[in-house]
Chains A and B, each alone.
Chain A
Amino acid sequence: MMDVFQDLLNYYGQNAWYVWEQFYKQFLMSAYGVLFGAIVGIPIGIFIAHHNRLSPWVISLANIIQTIPALAMLGVLMLVMGLGPNTVVFALFLYSLLPIIKNTYTGIRNVDPAMLESGKGMGMTRLQVLRMVELPLSLSVIMAGLRTALVITIGVATIGTFIGAGGLGDIIIRGTNVSDGTTIILAGAIPTALMAIIADAVMGWFEKRLAPSTRLKKNPANQV
Protein backbone atom coordinates (compact mmCIF):
# COMPACT_ATOMS: atom_id res chain seq x y z
CA MET A 1 0.00 0.00 0.00
CA MET A 2 2.75 2.44 0.96
CA ASP A 3 4.65 1.34 -2.13
CA VAL A 4 1.77 2.22 -4.41
CA PHE A 5 1.50 5.61 -2.75
CA GLN A 6 5.22 6.20 -3.16
CA ASP A 7 5.05 5.16 -6.83
CA LEU A 8 2.16 7.53 -7.40
CA LEU A 9 4.00 10.48 -5.89
CA ASN A 10 6.99 9.58 -8.01
CA TYR A 11 4.80 9.39 -11.11
CA TYR A 12 3.24 12.78 -10.53
CA GLY A 13 6.65 14.24 -9.81
CA GLN A 14 7.98 13.07 -13.16
CA ASN A 15 4.94 13.74 -15.30
CA ALA A 16 3.28 16.75 -13.69
CA TRP A 17 2.88 18.92 -16.79
CA TYR A 18 1.59 16.06 -18.91
CA VAL A 19 -1.05 15.03 -16.35
CA TRP A 20 -2.14 18.64 -16.01
CA GLU A 21 -2.43 18.97 -19.80
CA GLN A 22 -4.67 15.92 -20.00
CA PHE A 23 -6.69 17.01 -16.96
CA TYR A 24 -7.32 20.39 -18.54
CA LYS A 25 -8.22 18.82 -21.88
CA GLN A 26 -10.72 16.47 -20.30
CA PHE A 27 -12.29 19.27 -18.28
CA LEU A 28 -12.60 21.42 -21.41
CA MET A 29 -14.34 18.63 -23.31
CA SER A 30 -16.86 18.19 -20.49
CA ALA A 31 -17.38 21.92 -20.06
CA TYR A 32 -17.98 22.47 -23.78
CA GLY A 33 -20.43 19.57 -23.84
CA VAL A 34 -22.44 21.02 -20.97
CA LEU A 35 -22.21 24.53 -22.41
CA PHE A 36 -23.71 23.45 -25.73
CA GLY A 37 -26.20 21.34 -23.80
CA ALA A 38 -27.28 24.43 -21.88
CA ILE A 39 -27.53 26.59 -25.01
CA VAL A 40 -29.85 24.07 -26.62
CA GLY A 41 -31.43 22.38 -23.60
CA ILE A 42 -32.57 25.36 -21.54
CA PRO A 43 -34.63 26.95 -24.37
CA ILE A 44 -36.15 23.55 -25.16
CA GLY A 45 -36.98 23.06 -21.49
CA ILE A 46 -38.66 26.45 -21.28
CA PHE A 47 -40.55 25.80 -24.49
CA ILE A 48 -41.97 22.45 -23.41
CA ALA A 49 -42.88 23.86 -20.00
CA HIS A 50 -45.06 26.36 -21.78
CA HIS A 51 -46.38 23.83 -24.28
CA ASN A 52 -46.93 21.00 -21.89
CA ARG A 53 -48.35 18.58 -24.45
CA LEU A 54 -44.94 18.34 -26.12
CA SER A 55 -43.12 17.46 -22.93
CA PRO A 56 -43.62 13.65 -22.91
CA TRP A 57 -42.33 13.42 -26.46
CA VAL A 58 -39.23 15.58 -25.94
CA ILE A 59 -38.31 14.11 -22.57
CA SER A 60 -38.64 10.53 -23.76
CA LEU A 61 -36.42 11.37 -26.74
CA ALA A 62 -33.79 12.73 -24.35
CA ASN A 63 -34.30 9.64 -22.23
CA ILE A 64 -33.59 7.39 -25.20
CA ILE A 65 -30.36 9.29 -25.94
CA GLN A 66 -29.34 8.78 -22.32
CA THR A 67 -29.74 5.00 -22.52
CA ILE A 68 -27.29 4.58 -25.42
CA PRO A 69 -24.04 3.14 -24.02
CA ALA A 70 -21.19 5.65 -24.24
CA LEU A 71 -18.94 3.43 -26.33
CA ALA A 72 -21.70 2.76 -28.87
CA MET A 73 -22.53 6.45 -29.06
CA LEU A 74 -18.90 7.40 -29.68
CA GLY A 75 -18.55 4.63 -32.24
CA VAL A 76 -21.55 5.78 -34.25
CA LEU A 77 -20.65 9.46 -34.02
CA MET A 78 -17.10 8.65 -35.09
CA LEU A 79 -18.44 7.29 -38.38
CA VAL A 80 -20.11 10.61 -39.09
CA MET A 81 -17.73 13.12 -37.51
CA GLY A 82 -14.39 11.34 -37.49
CA LEU A 83 -11.76 11.00 -34.77
CA GLY A 84 -10.84 13.63 -32.23
CA PRO A 85 -12.13 15.77 -29.38
CA ASN A 86 -14.96 17.44 -31.31
CA THR A 87 -16.76 14.12 -31.65
CA VAL A 88 -16.47 13.57 -27.91
CA VAL A 89 -17.81 17.07 -27.22
CA PHE A 90 -20.83 16.31 -29.37
CA ALA A 91 -21.49 13.03 -27.54
CA LEU A 92 -21.21 14.85 -24.22
CA PHE A 93 -23.62 17.48 -25.50
CA LEU A 94 -26.17 14.75 -26.23
CA TYR A 95 -25.69 13.20 -22.79
CA SER A 96 -26.14 16.51 -21.01
CA LEU A 97 -29.46 17.23 -22.76
CA LEU A 98 -31.67 15.06 -20.55
CA PRO A 99 -30.74 16.45 -17.13
CA ILE A 100 -30.77 20.01 -18.45
CA ILE A 101 -34.09 19.79 -20.30
CA LYS A 102 -35.77 17.88 -17.52
CA ASN A 103 -34.65 20.20 -14.76
CA THR A 104 -35.51 23.34 -16.70
CA TYR A 105 -38.94 21.91 -17.41
CA THR A 106 -39.50 20.89 -13.79
CA GLY A 107 -38.20 24.17 -12.44
CA ILE A 108 -40.46 26.29 -14.61
CA ARG A 109 -43.52 24.07 -14.11
CA ASN A 110 -43.11 24.29 -10.35
CA VAL A 111 -43.30 28.05 -10.17
CA ASP A 112 -46.32 28.95 -8.03
CA PRO A 113 -49.22 29.85 -10.40
CA ALA A 114 -50.15 32.66 -8.05
CA MET A 115 -46.79 34.32 -8.80
CA LEU A 116 -47.46 34.07 -12.52
CA GLU A 117 -50.89 35.57 -12.05
CA SER A 118 -49.59 38.49 -10.02
CA GLY A 119 -46.93 39.07 -12.67
CA LYS A 120 -49.53 39.17 -15.37
CA GLY A 121 -51.73 41.33 -13.16
CA MET A 122 -48.93 43.89 -12.94
CA GLY A 123 -49.05 44.15 -16.72
CA MET A 124 -45.93 42.14 -17.54
CA THR A 125 -45.52 40.74 -21.03
CA ARG A 126 -44.87 37.00 -21.44
CA LEU A 127 -41.16 37.65 -21.86
CA GLN A 128 -41.08 39.76 -18.73
CA VAL A 129 -42.83 37.04 -16.75
CA LEU A 130 -40.22 34.59 -17.98
CA ARG A 131 -37.30 36.88 -17.22
CA MET A 132 -38.46 38.35 -13.91
CA VAL A 133 -40.58 35.60 -12.37
CA GLU A 134 -40.08 32.15 -13.86
CA LEU A 135 -36.33 32.08 -14.47
CA PRO A 136 -35.22 33.56 -11.14
CA LEU A 137 -37.47 31.17 -9.25
CA SER A 138 -36.32 28.08 -11.13
CA LEU A 139 -32.64 29.01 -11.41
CA SER A 140 -31.43 26.68 -8.67
CA VAL A 141 -33.30 23.72 -10.18
CA ILE A 142 -31.77 24.48 -13.59
CA MET A 143 -28.36 24.68 -11.89
CA ALA A 144 -28.97 21.24 -10.39
CA GLY A 145 -29.50 19.98 -13.94
CA LEU A 146 -26.22 21.48 -15.11
CA ARG A 147 -24.52 19.93 -12.09
CA THR A 148 -25.77 16.44 -12.93
CA ALA A 149 -24.83 16.97 -16.57
CA LEU A 150 -21.27 18.03 -15.73
CA VAL A 151 -20.64 15.06 -13.46
CA ILE A 152 -21.96 12.64 -16.11
CA THR A 153 -19.89 14.18 -18.88
CA ILE A 154 -16.64 14.11 -16.89
CA GLY A 155 -17.09 10.38 -16.50
CA VAL A 156 -17.98 9.77 -20.13
CA ALA A 157 -15.14 11.96 -21.44
CA THR A 158 -12.68 9.37 -20.12
CA ILE A 159 -13.82 7.02 -22.88
CA GLY A 160 -12.88 9.64 -25.48
CA THR A 161 -9.42 8.11 -25.54
CA PHE A 162 -10.77 5.32 -27.76
CA ILE A 163 -11.45 7.74 -30.58
CA GLY A 164 -8.21 9.62 -30.16
CA ALA A 165 -9.49 12.57 -28.16
CA GLY A 166 -6.89 12.37 -25.40
CA GLY A 167 -7.70 13.30 -21.83
CA LEU A 168 -7.03 11.35 -18.66
CA GLY A 169 -8.38 8.22 -20.33
CA ASP A 170 -5.15 8.15 -22.34
CA ILE A 171 -3.18 7.65 -19.15
CA ILE A 172 -5.48 4.90 -17.90
CA ILE A 173 -5.38 3.00 -21.19
CA ARG A 174 -1.61 3.26 -21.31
CA GLY A 175 -1.52 1.75 -17.84
CA THR A 176 -3.47 -1.26 -19.07
CA ASN A 177 -1.07 -1.75 -21.98
CA VAL A 178 2.23 -1.84 -20.11
CA SER A 179 3.30 -4.89 -18.15
CA ASP A 180 3.22 -3.36 -14.65
CA GLY A 181 0.77 -0.53 -15.01
CA THR A 182 -1.08 -0.34 -11.68
CA THR A 183 0.51 2.99 -10.84
CA ILE A 184 -0.27 4.47 -14.24
CA ILE A 185 -3.89 3.31 -14.12
CA LEU A 186 -4.33 4.88 -10.68
CA ALA A 187 -2.49 7.99 -11.77
CA GLY A 188 -5.14 8.52 -14.45
CA ALA A 189 -8.18 7.33 -12.51
CA ILE A 190 -7.67 9.38 -9.35
CA PRO A 191 -7.67 12.82 -11.06
CA THR A 192 -10.77 11.79 -13.03
CA ALA A 193 -12.65 10.96 -9.85
CA LEU A 194 -11.35 14.11 -8.16
CA MET A 195 -12.49 16.25 -11.07
CA ALA A 196 -16.03 14.85 -10.81
CA ILE A 197 -16.12 15.36 -7.05
CA ILE A 198 -14.82 18.92 -7.25
CA ALA A 199 -17.20 19.80 -10.09
CA ASP A 200 -20.08 18.41 -8.07
CA ALA A 201 -19.11 20.42 -4.98
CA VAL A 202 -18.59 23.68 -6.86
CA MET A 203 -21.84 23.38 -8.79
CA GLY A 204 -23.62 22.43 -5.57
CA TRP A 205 -22.39 25.63 -3.99
CA PHE A 206 -23.73 27.68 -6.92
CA GLU A 207 -27.00 25.83 -6.75
CA LYS A 208 -27.39 26.76 -3.09
CA ARG A 209 -26.44 30.38 -3.69
CA LEU A 210 -29.05 30.65 -6.43
CA ALA A 211 -31.90 29.10 -4.46
CA PRO A 212 -34.69 31.68 -3.98
CA SER A 213 -34.70 31.27 -0.19
CA THR A 214 -30.95 31.97 0.11
CA ARG A 215 -31.16 34.99 -2.16
CA LEU A 216 -34.01 36.43 -0.14
CA LYS A 217 -32.02 36.19 3.05
CA LYS A 218 -28.89 37.71 1.53
CA ASN A 219 -30.57 40.79 0.14
CA PRO A 220 -32.59 42.79 2.69
CA ALA A 221 -34.20 44.84 -0.09
CA ASN A 222 -36.11 41.73 -1.11
CA GLN A 223 -37.68 41.26 2.27
CA VAL A 224 -41.19 42.49 2.46
Chain B
Amino acid sequence: MNQTLKKTKRVITILILSLSFILGACSLPGLSGAPENTIRIGTLNTTESQIMGQVVKQLIEHETDLEVVLVNNLGSSIVQHQAMLDKQVDITATRYTGTDLSGALGMEPVNDPDEAMKIVQKEFKERWDQTWFDSYGFDNTYAFTVTKELAEKYGLEKVSDLADVAGELRFGVDNSWIHREGDGYQGFVETYGFEFPKIYPMQIGLVYEALANDEMDVVLAYSSDGRIAAFNLKILEDDKKFFPPYDTSLVARNEVLREHPELEGILNKLVGTIDTAKMQKMNYEADGEKREPAVVAQKFLEEHHYFEGVE
Protein backbone atom coordinates (compact mmCIF):
# COMPACT_ATOMS: atom_id res chain seq x y z
CA MET B 1 0.00 0.00 0.00
CA ASN B 2 2.73 2.44 0.97
CA GLN B 3 4.61 1.52 -2.17
CA THR B 4 1.73 2.37 -4.50
CA LEU B 5 1.07 5.55 -2.57
CA LYS B 6 4.63 6.73 -3.00
CA LYS B 7 4.54 5.79 -6.63
CA THR B 8 1.36 7.75 -7.35
CA LYS B 9 2.71 10.68 -5.41
CA ARG B 10 5.81 10.67 -7.56
CA VAL B 11 3.87 10.21 -10.80
CA ILE B 12 1.60 13.16 -10.04
CA THR B 13 4.45 15.42 -9.03
CA ILE B 14 6.36 14.61 -12.19
CA LEU B 15 3.23 15.11 -14.27
CA ILE B 16 2.56 18.55 -12.81
CA LEU B 17 6.16 19.67 -13.08
CA SER B 18 6.62 18.48 -16.64
CA LEU B 19 3.33 20.03 -17.71
CA SER B 20 4.42 23.37 -16.30
CA PHE B 21 7.65 23.26 -18.27
CA ILE B 22 6.03 22.11 -21.49
CA LEU B 23 3.39 24.79 -21.19
CA GLY B 24 5.97 27.41 -20.37
CA ALA B 25 7.70 26.84 -23.69
CA CYS B 26 4.93 25.84 -26.05
CA SER B 27 2.53 27.84 -28.13
CA LEU B 28 -1.21 27.61 -27.69
CA PRO B 29 -3.07 28.34 -30.93
CA GLY B 30 -4.92 31.63 -30.59
CA LEU B 31 -3.21 32.60 -27.36
CA SER B 32 0.55 32.60 -27.73
CA GLY B 33 2.76 31.99 -30.74
CA ALA B 34 6.10 30.30 -30.94
CA PRO B 35 8.54 32.23 -28.72
CA GLU B 36 11.04 32.92 -31.50
CA ASN B 37 8.43 34.74 -33.60
CA THR B 38 6.78 36.64 -30.79
CA ILE B 39 7.62 40.17 -29.71
CA ARG B 40 6.49 41.06 -26.21
CA ILE B 41 5.80 44.69 -25.39
CA GLY B 42 5.58 45.87 -21.80
CA THR B 43 3.41 48.83 -20.85
CA LEU B 44 2.58 50.67 -17.64
CA ASN B 45 -0.90 50.84 -16.16
CA THR B 46 -1.40 54.34 -17.54
CA THR B 47 -3.56 55.20 -20.53
CA GLU B 48 -0.66 56.88 -22.30
CA SER B 49 1.57 53.86 -22.00
CA GLN B 50 -1.13 51.51 -23.23
CA ILE B 51 -1.90 53.69 -26.23
CA MET B 52 1.77 53.76 -27.20
CA GLY B 53 2.06 50.01 -26.60
CA GLN B 54 -0.81 49.46 -29.00
CA VAL B 55 0.70 51.84 -31.56
CA VAL B 56 3.96 49.87 -31.52
CA LYS B 57 2.12 46.53 -31.56
CA GLN B 58 -0.15 47.36 -34.46
CA LEU B 59 2.66 48.92 -36.45
CA ILE B 60 4.89 45.86 -36.11
CA GLU B 61 1.98 43.55 -36.96
CA HIS B 62 1.19 45.64 -40.00
CA GLU B 63 4.75 45.57 -41.33
CA THR B 64 5.91 42.05 -40.43
CA ASP B 65 4.60 38.55 -39.86
CA LEU B 66 5.75 38.61 -36.26
CA GLU B 67 3.25 38.02 -33.53
CA VAL B 68 3.09 40.75 -30.91
CA VAL B 69 1.70 40.40 -27.41
CA LEU B 70 1.23 43.15 -24.88
CA VAL B 71 2.20 42.67 -21.28
CA ASN B 72 -0.02 45.33 -19.76
CA ASN B 73 -0.26 46.93 -16.34
CA LEU B 74 3.36 46.72 -15.22
CA GLY B 75 3.43 48.66 -11.97
CA SER B 76 6.23 51.16 -12.46
CA SER B 77 9.23 52.09 -14.55
CA ILE B 78 11.42 49.95 -12.33
CA VAL B 79 9.19 46.93 -12.91
CA GLN B 80 9.41 47.60 -16.65
CA HIS B 81 13.16 47.80 -16.42
CA GLN B 82 13.38 44.59 -14.43
CA ALA B 83 11.13 42.78 -16.92
CA MET B 84 13.51 43.83 -19.69
CA LEU B 85 16.55 42.58 -17.78
CA ASP B 86 14.83 39.25 -17.11
CA LYS B 87 13.97 39.03 -20.83
CA GLN B 88 10.28 38.80 -19.98
CA VAL B 89 9.56 41.59 -22.43
CA ASP B 90 11.44 42.68 -25.54
CA ILE B 91 10.27 46.26 -25.86
CA THR B 92 8.92 48.75 -23.35
CA ALA B 93 6.64 51.27 -24.99
CA THR B 94 6.98 54.32 -22.76
CA ARG B 95 10.14 55.24 -20.93
CA TYR B 96 10.78 58.73 -19.60
CA THR B 97 14.28 60.22 -19.56
CA GLY B 98 13.94 61.81 -16.12
CA THR B 99 12.50 58.68 -14.55
CA ASP B 100 15.14 56.34 -15.90
CA LEU B 101 18.00 58.70 -15.07
CA SER B 102 17.15 58.64 -11.39
CA GLY B 103 15.44 55.22 -11.30
CA ALA B 104 17.14 52.60 -13.44
CA LEU B 105 20.48 54.38 -13.75
CA GLY B 106 20.58 55.84 -10.25
CA MET B 107 22.14 59.07 -11.50
CA GLU B 108 21.62 62.73 -10.67
CA PRO B 109 18.84 64.49 -12.59
CA VAL B 110 19.96 66.45 -15.64
CA ASN B 111 17.99 69.52 -16.65
CA ASP B 112 18.94 69.77 -20.28
CA PRO B 113 16.63 67.52 -22.35
CA ASP B 114 19.17 66.72 -25.07
CA GLU B 115 21.87 65.88 -22.60
CA ALA B 116 19.52 63.70 -20.55
CA MET B 117 18.60 61.82 -23.71
CA LYS B 118 22.25 61.36 -24.64
CA ILE B 119 23.08 59.98 -21.22
CA VAL B 120 20.30 57.39 -21.09
CA GLN B 121 20.99 56.27 -24.65
CA LYS B 122 24.68 55.76 -23.92
CA GLU B 123 24.26 54.18 -20.49
CA PHE B 124 21.50 51.75 -21.52
CA LYS B 125 23.59 50.59 -24.45
CA GLU B 126 26.72 50.06 -22.39
CA ARG B 127 25.20 48.63 -19.24
CA TRP B 128 22.38 46.45 -20.59
CA ASP B 129 22.76 46.25 -24.38
CA GLN B 130 19.45 48.06 -24.90
CA THR B 131 18.52 50.75 -27.40
CA TRP B 132 16.86 53.92 -26.15
CA PHE B 133 15.16 55.30 -29.22
CA ASP B 134 14.87 59.02 -29.89
CA SER B 135 11.75 60.55 -28.39
CA TYR B 136 8.27 60.13 -29.85
CA GLY B 137 8.14 63.90 -29.56
CA PHE B 138 6.18 64.42 -26.35
CA ASP B 139 7.09 64.64 -22.72
CA ASN B 140 5.10 63.93 -19.60
CA THR B 141 6.42 66.19 -16.89
CA TYR B 142 4.99 68.28 -14.08
CA ALA B 143 3.65 71.47 -15.60
CA PHE B 144 2.28 74.66 -14.06
CA THR B 145 -1.15 74.96 -15.57
CA VAL B 146 -3.78 77.72 -15.55
CA THR B 147 -7.04 78.41 -17.34
CA LYS B 148 -6.77 80.39 -20.58
CA GLU B 149 -8.88 83.21 -19.07
CA LEU B 150 -6.52 83.64 -16.15
CA ALA B 151 -3.52 83.60 -18.47
CA GLU B 152 -5.02 86.42 -20.53
CA LYS B 153 -6.05 88.41 -17.48
CA TYR B 154 -2.54 88.50 -16.03
CA GLY B 155 -0.59 88.01 -19.26
CA LEU B 156 0.92 84.71 -18.14
CA GLU B 157 3.29 82.85 -20.47
CA LYS B 158 6.09 81.53 -18.27
CA VAL B 159 6.26 80.31 -14.71
CA SER B 160 8.25 83.45 -13.76
CA ASP B 161 5.22 85.55 -14.70
CA LEU B 162 3.46 84.11 -11.67
CA ALA B 163 5.85 85.83 -9.23
CA ASP B 164 3.86 89.06 -8.91
CA VAL B 165 0.45 87.45 -8.55
CA ALA B 166 1.33 84.29 -6.59
CA GLY B 167 0.14 85.88 -3.36
CA GLU B 168 -3.51 85.87 -4.39
CA LEU B 169 -3.64 82.62 -6.37
CA ARG B 170 -4.89 79.29 -5.04
CA PHE B 171 -2.34 76.63 -5.92
CA GLY B 172 -3.35 72.95 -6.11
CA VAL B 173 -0.63 70.29 -6.14
CA ASP B 174 0.01 66.60 -5.81
CA ASN B 175 0.37 65.48 -2.17
CA SER B 176 3.79 63.97 -2.67
CA TRP B 177 5.28 66.95 -4.49
CA ILE B 178 5.21 69.29 -1.49
CA HIS B 179 7.71 67.29 0.52
CA ARG B 180 9.71 65.89 -2.34
CA GLU B 181 13.48 66.37 -2.31
CA GLY B 182 15.12 68.01 -5.31
CA ASP B 183 12.33 68.94 -7.68
CA GLY B 184 9.70 69.40 -4.94
CA TYR B 185 8.17 72.59 -3.57
CA GLN B 186 11.24 73.57 -1.54
CA GLY B 187 13.43 73.33 -4.61
CA PHE B 188 10.89 75.33 -6.58
CA VAL B 189 10.97 78.20 -4.11
CA GLU B 190 14.75 78.26 -4.21
CA THR B 191 14.90 78.26 -8.01
CA TYR B 192 12.13 80.70 -8.80
CA GLY B 193 12.40 82.84 -5.68
CA PHE B 194 8.71 83.17 -4.79
CA GLU B 195 6.18 81.26 -2.73
CA PHE B 196 2.51 80.39 -2.95
CA PRO B 197 0.91 81.34 0.38
CA LYS B 198 -2.30 79.49 -0.51
CA ILE B 199 -1.18 75.95 -1.35
CA TYR B 200 -3.61 73.03 -1.38
CA PRO B 201 -2.35 69.45 -1.47
CA MET B 202 -4.66 67.09 -3.38
CA GLN B 203 -4.66 64.00 -5.53
CA ILE B 204 -3.08 64.58 -8.92
CA GLY B 205 -6.14 63.23 -10.71
CA LEU B 206 -8.34 65.93 -9.22
CA VAL B 207 -6.36 69.03 -10.16
CA TYR B 208 -7.82 69.34 -13.68
CA GLU B 209 -11.43 69.49 -12.58
CA ALA B 210 -10.50 71.76 -9.69
CA LEU B 211 -9.01 74.21 -12.17
CA ALA B 212 -11.86 73.97 -14.65
CA ASN B 213 -14.44 74.47 -11.88
CA ASP B 214 -12.64 77.58 -10.62
CA GLU B 215 -11.81 75.98 -7.28
CA MET B 216 -8.10 76.52 -7.98
CA ASP B 217 -6.22 79.16 -9.99
CA VAL B 218 -2.94 77.38 -10.66
CA VAL B 219 -2.25 73.65 -10.51
CA LEU B 220 0.67 71.37 -11.08
CA ALA B 221 -0.51 68.92 -13.76
CA TYR B 222 0.99 66.20 -15.94
CA SER B 223 1.79 67.82 -19.25
CA SER B 224 0.41 65.12 -21.54
CA ASP B 225 -2.87 64.59 -19.70
CA GLY B 226 -5.85 64.71 -22.03
CA ARG B 227 -7.85 67.01 -19.81
CA ILE B 228 -5.48 69.91 -20.48
CA ALA B 229 -6.76 70.09 -24.03
CA ALA B 230 -10.32 69.11 -23.18
CA PHE B 231 -10.78 71.74 -20.46
CA ASN B 232 -9.02 74.43 -22.48
CA LEU B 233 -6.16 74.85 -20.03
CA LYS B 234 -2.78 76.45 -20.61
CA ILE B 235 0.64 75.15 -19.64
CA LEU B 236 3.16 77.78 -18.52
CA GLU B 237 6.68 77.41 -19.80
CA ASP B 238 9.18 76.23 -17.21
CA ASP B 239 11.59 79.05 -18.13
CA LYS B 240 14.16 78.32 -15.44
CA LYS B 241 14.22 74.63 -16.41
CA PHE B 242 13.39 73.58 -12.88
CA PHE B 243 11.79 70.22 -13.69
CA PRO B 244 13.99 67.56 -15.20
CA PRO B 245 12.87 66.55 -18.71
CA TYR B 246 10.60 63.55 -19.10
CA ASP B 247 10.88 62.99 -22.82
CA THR B 248 9.15 59.78 -23.85
CA SER B 249 10.71 57.01 -25.93
CA LEU B 250 10.54 53.32 -26.46
CA VAL B 251 13.35 51.03 -25.36
CA ALA B 252 14.18 47.72 -27.02
CA ARG B 253 16.60 44.93 -26.25
CA ASN B 254 19.39 44.80 -28.83
CA GLU B 255 19.31 41.02 -28.82
CA VAL B 256 15.81 41.18 -30.30
CA LEU B 257 16.75 43.93 -32.75
CA ARG B 258 19.59 41.74 -34.02
CA GLU B 259 17.30 38.72 -34.34
CA HIS B 260 14.76 40.72 -36.34
CA PRO B 261 16.81 43.31 -38.25
CA GLU B 262 13.71 44.84 -39.86
CA LEU B 263 12.42 46.01 -36.48
CA GLU B 264 14.76 48.93 -35.91
CA GLY B 265 13.69 50.73 -39.06
CA ILE B 266 10.02 50.18 -38.27
CA LEU B 267 10.33 51.46 -34.72
CA ASN B 268 12.31 54.48 -35.86
CA LYS B 269 9.36 55.61 -37.95
CA LEU B 270 7.58 56.61 -34.76
CA VAL B 271 10.32 59.00 -33.66
CA GLY B 272 9.14 62.60 -33.60
CA THR B 273 5.62 61.84 -34.79
CA ILE B 274 3.62 62.73 -31.67
CA ASP B 275 3.95 66.09 -29.98
CA THR B 276 2.59 66.82 -26.52
CA ALA B 277 -0.63 68.33 -27.88
CA LYS B 278 -1.25 65.21 -29.97
CA MET B 279 -0.63 62.95 -26.98
CA GLN B 280 -3.00 65.05 -24.87
CA LYS B 281 -5.63 64.54 -27.54
CA MET B 282 -5.12 60.80 -27.71
CA ASN B 283 -5.17 60.50 -23.92
CA TYR B 284 -8.44 62.38 -23.91
CA GLU B 285 -9.96 60.16 -26.57
CA ALA B 286 -9.24 57.21 -24.31
CA ASP B 287 -10.12 58.63 -20.89
CA GLY B 288 -12.72 61.21 -21.78
CA GLU B 289 -14.43 59.70 -24.77
CA LYS B 290 -14.02 56.12 -23.53
CA ARG B 291 -12.25 54.67 -26.52
CA GLU B 292 -9.93 51.78 -25.77
CA PRO B 293 -6.21 52.48 -26.26
CA ALA B 294 -6.24 49.84 -29.01
CA VAL B 295 -8.89 51.79 -30.90
CA VAL B 296 -7.14 55.14 -30.42
CA ALA B 297 -3.88 53.61 -31.65
CA GLN B 298 -5.52 52.12 -34.70
CA LYS B 299 -7.03 55.48 -35.62
CA PHE B 300 -3.66 57.19 -35.21
CA LEU B 301 -1.89 54.69 -37.46
CA GLU B 302 -4.60 54.86 -40.10
CA GLU B 303 -4.36 58.65 -40.16
CA HIS B 304 -0.68 58.26 -40.94
CA HIS B 305 -1.21 55.31 -43.33
CA TYR B 306 1.00 53.22 -41.07
CA PHE B 307 3.93 55.42 -42.06
CA GLU B 308 4.24 53.69 -45.36
CA GLY B 309 6.95 55.11 -47.54
CA VAL B 310 8.60 56.85 -44.58
CA GLU B 311 12.20 55.96 -44.06
A interface residues (Cβ-Cβ under 8 A, vs B): 7, 10-11, 14-15, 17-19, 21, 24-25, 28-29, 32, 36, 40, 44, 47, 51, 53-54, 57-58, 61, 77, 80-87, 89-90, 93-94, 161-162, 164, 166, 170-171, 173-174, 177-180, 183-184
Contacts and interface: CB of A to CB of B under 8 A. Distances in A.
Contact of B287 (A11, A44, A87, A178): A178
User: What are the nearest 10 A-B pairs in CB distance?
Assistant: A164-B71, A15-B292, A81-B24, A18-B292, A18-B294, A178-B287, A85-B31, A179-B205, A28-B30, A83-B88
23 contacts: A14-B292, A18-B292, A25-B31, A32-B31, A40-B19, A77-B20, A80-B20, A81-B20, A82-B86, A82-B88, A83-B83, A85-B69, A86-B24, A86-B31, A89-B23, A89-B31, A90-B23, A94-B16, A164-B73, A166-B69, A174-B50, A174-B292, A183-B290
A87 B19 CA distance: 11
A54 B5 contact: yes
Interface of B: 1, 4-5, 8-9, 12, 15-16, 19-20, 23-24, 26, 28, 30-32, 40, 42, 45-47, 50, 69-74, 83, 86, 88-89, 205, 286-287, 289-295
Contacts, number: 120
A184 B23 contact: no
Given A83-B89, A84-B69, A179-B205, 8 more contacts: A14-B291, A18-B292, A18-B294, A53-B5, A61-B12, A170-B73, A173-B73, A180-B287
Contacts of B70: 164, 166
With a 10 A CB-CB cut-off, give which of B46, B69, B70 has the most chain A CB atoms: B69
Contacts of A93: 19, 23
Determine the main DSSP class of A at the interface with B. Answer: helix
A177 B291 contact: no
A53 B1 contact: yes
Contact of A173 (B16, B32, B45, B69): B45
B72 A161 contact: yes
Contacts of B16: 94
Contacts of B289: 14
A177 B47 contact: yes
A11 B290 contact: yes
Nearest to A94: B16
B32 A86 contact: yes
A132 B50 CA distance: 54
Given A85-B32, A90-B19, A57 B47 contact: no
Nearest to B86: A82
B292 to A, nearest CB: 4
